[in-house]
Protein backbone atom coordinates (compact mmCIF):
# COMPACT_ATOMS: atom_id res chain seq x y z
CA UNK A 1 0.00 0.00 0.00
CA UNK A 2 1.33 3.43 -0.90
CA UNK A 3 1.71 6.27 1.57
CA UNK A 4 -0.96 8.21 -0.33
CA UNK A 5 -3.47 5.35 0.03
CA UNK A 6 -2.74 5.13 3.75
CA UNK A 7 -3.08 8.92 4.12
CA UNK A 8 -6.47 8.77 2.35
CA UNK A 9 -7.71 6.21 4.90
CA UNK A 10 -6.45 8.38 7.76
CA UNK A 11 -8.23 11.43 6.30
CA UNK A 12 -11.47 9.49 6.04
CA UNK A 13 -11.43 8.29 9.64
CA UNK A 14 -10.34 11.72 10.90
CA UNK A 15 -13.84 12.98 10.10
CA UNK A 16 -15.23 10.63 12.77
CA UNK A 17 -13.09 12.06 15.58
CA UNK A 18 -14.82 13.16 18.76
CA UNK A 19 -13.09 16.45 19.55
CA UNK A 20 -15.66 18.82 21.11
CA UNK A 21 -13.05 20.46 23.37
CA UNK A 22 -9.98 21.03 21.22
CA UNK A 23 -11.74 20.89 17.82
CA UNK A 24 -8.52 19.21 16.66
CA UNK A 25 -9.46 16.06 14.77
CA UNK A 26 -6.81 13.44 14.10
CA UNK A 27 -6.96 10.31 11.98
CA UNK A 28 -4.51 7.43 11.79
CA UNK A 29 -4.17 4.44 9.49
CA UNK A 30 -1.93 1.58 10.62
CA UNK A 31 -0.62 -0.85 8.01
CA UNK A 32 -0.15 -4.40 9.27
CA UNK A 33 2.51 -6.65 7.76
CA UNK A 34 -0.28 -8.87 6.41
CA UNK A 35 -1.65 -5.92 4.39
CA UNK A 36 -4.66 -5.10 6.57
CA UNK A 37 -5.22 -1.51 7.61
CA UNK A 38 -6.54 -0.51 11.03
CA UNK A 39 -7.81 3.03 11.43
CA UNK A 40 -8.37 5.20 14.45
CA UNK A 41 -9.46 8.70 15.38
CA UNK A 42 -9.02 10.71 18.54
CA UNK A 43 -11.76 10.45 21.17
CA UNK A 44 -11.63 13.32 23.65
CA UNK A 45 -12.90 13.46 27.18
CA UNK A 46 -13.65 16.46 29.38
CA UNK A 47 -10.79 15.39 31.67
CA UNK A 48 -8.32 15.44 28.73
CA UNK A 49 -6.23 12.78 30.52
CA UNK A 50 -8.82 10.22 29.47
CA UNK A 51 -8.56 11.27 25.83
CA UNK A 52 -7.54 8.50 23.46
CA UNK A 53 -5.31 9.49 20.56
CA UNK A 54 -5.95 8.30 17.00
CA UNK A 55 -2.71 6.30 16.92
CA UNK A 56 -3.54 4.36 20.08
CA UNK A 57 -7.08 3.74 18.82
CA UNK A 58 -5.67 2.15 15.66
CA UNK A 59 -3.15 0.04 17.60
CA UNK A 60 -5.81 -1.09 20.07
CA UNK A 61 -8.20 -2.10 17.28
CA UNK A 62 -5.47 -4.11 15.57
CA UNK A 63 -4.28 -5.85 18.73
CA UNK A 64 -7.87 -6.69 19.69
CA UNK A 65 -8.15 -8.44 16.31
CA UNK A 66 -5.00 -10.47 16.99
CA UNK A 67 -2.61 -8.44 14.83
CA UNK A 68 0.71 -7.38 16.32
CA UNK A 69 3.09 -6.84 13.42
CA UNK A 70 3.03 -3.56 11.53
CA UNK A 71 4.97 -1.67 8.88
CA UNK A 72 3.90 1.94 9.16
CA UNK A 73 1.27 4.40 10.31
CA UNK A 74 -0.07 7.51 8.58
CA UNK A 75 -1.34 10.42 10.68
CA UNK A 76 -3.37 13.44 9.55
CA UNK A 77 -4.96 16.34 11.42
CA UNK A 78 -7.85 18.69 10.72
CA UNK A 79 -5.51 21.67 11.03
CA UNK A 80 -3.93 20.66 7.72
CA UNK A 81 -0.51 20.82 9.39
CA UNK A 82 1.80 18.00 10.40
CA UNK A 83 0.67 16.33 13.62
CA UNK A 84 3.41 14.12 15.04
CA UNK A 85 2.41 11.52 17.63
CA UNK A 86 2.50 12.55 21.28
CA UNK A 87 5.05 10.96 23.60
CA UNK A 88 2.69 8.28 24.87
CA UNK A 89 1.74 7.30 21.31
CA UNK A 90 5.38 7.16 20.27
CA UNK A 91 6.10 4.72 23.08
CA UNK A 92 3.00 2.61 22.29
CA UNK A 93 3.99 2.49 18.62
CA UNK A 94 7.53 1.50 19.62
CA UNK A 95 6.09 -1.53 21.43
CA UNK A 96 4.75 -2.87 18.13
CA UNK A 97 6.76 -1.28 15.29
CA UNK A 98 10.19 -0.30 16.59
CA UNK A 99 11.56 -0.58 13.04
CA UNK A 100 8.47 1.02 11.50
CA UNK A 101 7.75 4.24 9.68
CA UNK A 102 5.55 7.20 10.58
CA UNK A 103 4.01 9.12 7.69
CA UNK A 104 2.76 12.63 8.43
CA UNK A 105 0.71 14.74 6.04
CA UNK A 106 0.33 18.50 5.60
CA UNK A 107 -1.98 20.26 3.14
CA UNK A 108 0.74 22.74 2.24
CA UNK A 109 3.84 20.54 2.32
CA UNK A 110 2.57 17.06 1.49
CA UNK A 111 3.90 13.98 3.21
CA UNK A 112 6.96 13.39 5.34
CA UNK A 113 8.13 9.96 6.41
CA UNK A 114 10.18 9.25 9.51
CA UNK A 115 11.61 6.14 11.08
CA UNK A 116 9.92 5.77 14.45
CA UNK A 117 13.38 5.75 16.03
CA UNK A 118 13.87 9.30 14.72
CA UNK A 119 10.82 10.41 16.70
CA UNK A 120 11.64 8.28 19.75
CA UNK A 121 15.38 7.59 19.80
CA UNK A 122 15.43 5.90 23.22
CA UNK A 123 12.19 3.95 23.14
CA UNK A 124 12.09 0.64 24.94
CA UNK A 125 10.11 -2.59 24.86
CA UNK A 126 9.21 -4.99 27.61
CA UNK A 127 11.99 -7.33 26.56
CA UNK A 128 14.44 -4.48 27.23
CA UNK A 129 13.45 -4.34 30.91
CA UNK A 130 15.54 -6.78 32.90
**pLDDT tens string 76-121:** 999 999 999 999 999 999 999 999 999 999 999 999 999 999 999 9
Is 59 annotated to bind a ligand? Reply is no
pLDDT recorded at residue 130: 61
Is 15 annotated to bind a ligand? Reply is no
CATH number given to 3-128? 3.40.140.10
pLDDT at 125 over 90: no
Map out the domains of the chain as residue ranges.
3-128
Is 86 annotated to bind a ligand? Reply is yes
Is 46 annotated to bind a ligand? Reply is yes
Of 61, 73, 57, 69, the C-alpha closest to 113 is 73
Beta bridge partners of 38: 30
Active site residue 55: yes
Catalytic residue among 5, 12, 55, 69: 55
Under 8 Å between Cβ of 17 and 83: no
Amino acid sequence: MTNQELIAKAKEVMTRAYAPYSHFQVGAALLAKDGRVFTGCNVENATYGATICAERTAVTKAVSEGVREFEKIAIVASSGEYAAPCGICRQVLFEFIPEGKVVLWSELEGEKEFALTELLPFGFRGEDIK
